[in-house]
Amino acid sequence: MARHPGTEHRSPASLAKEVGFRLREQRTRLSLTLRVVASTAQISAAHLSDIENGHAHASLPVLLRISKALDLPLAQLLPRLGGRHLLKGSIGEAPGETTLSHPDLQLAVTNVNLEPEGQCLLTVEKDEDIFIFVFAGRCGVEVNGVGYELSTHDCLDAERATTIRITGIAASKLIICRGRRR
């Protein structure tokens, strides 16, 4: 979707214009008329035109109906103040680690793919908890010297651990979440 320049600090008027721009862009992409979308959203075509041109602010129920009529999720319609609101990642197939979380989050989410006998050693920081979910496969997990075997869809929540060693028994896909206790 196109972005208007200068959307970092929005006034209510510029926010209305950006939302209207996104609505009109989607309606045009779908080759729908104002009248058809307005009818589906149960508002007048004149009101929809005012919203699209940034001359009127729509209430949340009206925005929900319009976004449904346009098959446009609210997360795409409503801009987040200060920048991006969606980061997309994917779980890879190659052995190794892929970070899935945003660096500003207090929760780090990592995808780890292990070959049979492949290993991953986690050094755990003070007050950090580790949650391991086995998406697919089978692995051995050693937490502070105590061993566990995990298979597809098993999980392990390790509190107050200092070291965690994960060894692939079969090819394994893991999701590892790391975060601090409150």
pLDDT tens-digit map of 95-152: 776 666 555 556 788 889 999 999 999 988 888 888 888 989 999 999 988 999 999 9
Pick from 91, 81, 77: nearest CA to 20: 77
As a whole number of angstroms, the distance between CA 34 and CA 157 comes to 52
What CA–CA distance (Å, rounded) separates 49 from 56? 9
All structural domains of the chain, each given as residue ranges with its CATH number in brackets, are: 12-77 (1.10.260.40), 96-180 (2.60.120.10)
Cβ neighbours around 106 below 10 Å, total? 9
Q: Are 113 and 90 in contact (CB under 8 A)?
A: no
pLDDT in tens, 140-179: 999 988 999 999 988 888 888 889 999 999 999 998 888 8
Cα angle vertex 137, ends 150, 154, to 5°?
35
pTM above 0.85, yes or no: no
Model confidence over 43-95: pLDDT tens digits?
A: 999 999 999 998 988 887 888 889 889 988 776 777 654 444 444 455 666 77
